[in-house]
Structure 1
Amino acid sequence: MVVPDLGRAHGSGRMVTADHLRLLARVARMYHEQGMRQPEIAAALSISQPRVSRLLKEAITRGIVRTVVVLPDGVHTELEEDLQRRYSMRDAVVVDAGGAQGDVIPALAAAAAAYFDATFKGGDVIGISSWSETLLAAVDRMHPKNTQVADRVMQVVGGVGSPEAQVHATRLISRLSDVTRARPVFVPSAGVVGTPLVRDALLQDRAVVEVMAQWDELTVVLVGIGSLEPSPLLLRSGNAVGHTDQEELRSLGAVGDVCLHFFDAEGNVVDSAFDRRVVGINVETFRAVERRVAVAGGRRKYSAIKAALRGGWVNVLITDLEVAQRLLAEPT
Structure 2
Amino acid sequence: MSAGFPGGPAELVLTASVARRYYLDGKSKVEIADEFSLSRFKVARLIQTALTAGIVRIEIGYPGTIDVELSGRLQTRYGLRHAVVVDTLEEDAVSLHRNLGEAAADLLTEIVTPDDVLGLAWARSVAAMTVALTRLAPVPIVQLTGALARAETDDSSIDLVRAAARVSGGPAHFFHAPLVVPNAATARAMRKQPEIARAFGLFGSVTKAVVGVGRWAAGQSTIYDAAEERDRKLMRRLGTCAEISGVTINAEGQPVHAGLSERMIGISAPELRAIPEVIAIAYGVAKAPAARAVLRSGLVSGLVTHTTLATALLADD
Shift of 1:294: 0.8
**What is the DSSP-based 3-state SS (H/G/I as helix, E as strand, rest coil) of the residue aligned with 2:140?**
strand
Percent of aligned pairs sharing the same letter: 25
Shift in CA distance, 323/160, structure 1 to aligned 2, threshold 3 Å? closer
> CA 1:208 to 1:57, structure 2 compared with 1: closer, same or farther past 3 Å?
farther
Supply the distance in 2 between the matched residues of 1:33 and 1:25 (Cα, whole angstroms).
11
Q: Which residue of 1 aligns with 2:120?
A: 128
TM-score by length of 2: 0.81
Kindly provide the CA deviation profile for residues 170-195 of structure 1, in whole angstroms up to 9, marking residues without a partner as x.
Answer: 32111111122221110332221111
Contact persistence 1:159–1:187 (CA under 8 A):
no
Structure 1 residue aligned with 2:192, among 204, 209, 220? 204
Task: Give the superposition deviation at 1:64.
Answer: 5.2
Structure 2 CA distance, aligned partners of 1:265 and 1:233? Answer: 15
Change (3 A) 1:45 1:296: same
Residues 98 and 296 of structure 1, relative CA distance in 2, 3 Å threshold: same
CA-atom RMSD in angstroms: 3.6
1:1-332 pair list within 5 angstroms: 29-36=20-27, 68-71=58-61, 74-98=65-89, 100-101=91-92, 104-130=96-122, 132-143=123-134, 145=135, 149-159=137-147, 161=149, 167-229=155-217, 231=219, 234=222, 240-331=226-317
2:230 & 2:168 partners in 1: Cα distance?
40
- Summarize deviations over 1:142-183 as a string: whole Å, max 9, x none: 22x3xx604211110122746868952232111111122221
The alpha carbon displacement at 1:308 in A equals 0.6
Q: Deviation at 1:97? A: 2.4
The 2-side partners of 1:118 and 1:257 are apart by: 27
User: Is the 2:253–2:297 Cα contact (8 Å) retained in structure 1?
Assistant: yes
Q: For residues 271 and 190 of structure 1, do their structure 2 counterparts lie closer, same or farther at Cα, with a shift above 3 Å needed?
A: same
Structure 1 residue 37: deviation in Å? 5.3
Contact 1:133/1:233 (CA < 8 Å) preserved in 2?
A: no
AA aligned opposite 2:300: V
- Structure-2 separation of matches of 1:290 and 1:59: 49
Go from structure 1 to structure 2 and tell me whether the alpha carbon gap of 1:216 and 1:318 turns closer, same or farther (over 3 Å shift): same
TM-score (ref. length: structure 1)? 0.77
The structure-2 alpha-carbon separation of the partners of 1:290 and 1:63, relative to structure 1 and needing over 3 Å to count, comes to farther
Q: Report SS of the residue matched to 1:247.
A: helix
Residue 304 (structure 1) shift: 0.9
Distance 2:261 2:108 in 1: 30
Letter in 2 for 1:268: Q
Offset from partner CA, 1:65-123 (integer Å, 9 cap, x none): 57834345954211111111111111211112226446632332232223223332222
One-letter amino acid of the structure 2 residue matched with residue 84 of structure 1:
Q
Aligned-partner SS, 2:303: strand
Asked if the contact 1:126–1:150 (Cα under 8 Å) also holds between the matched residues in 2, the reply is: no
Report the secondary structure of 1:257's partner residue.
Answer: strand
| Contact 2:139/2:171 (<8 A) preserved | yes
Measure, in 2, the Cα distance between the counterparts of 1:59 and 1:179. Answer: 53
Structure 1 gaps, min length 5: 1-5, 7-21
* Deviation for aligned residue 1:196: 1.1
2:252, 2:297 within 8 Å by CA — same for their partners in 1?
yes
The whole-number CA distance in structure 1 between the counterparts of 2:312 and 2:152 is: 35
Change (3 A) 1:33 1:257: same
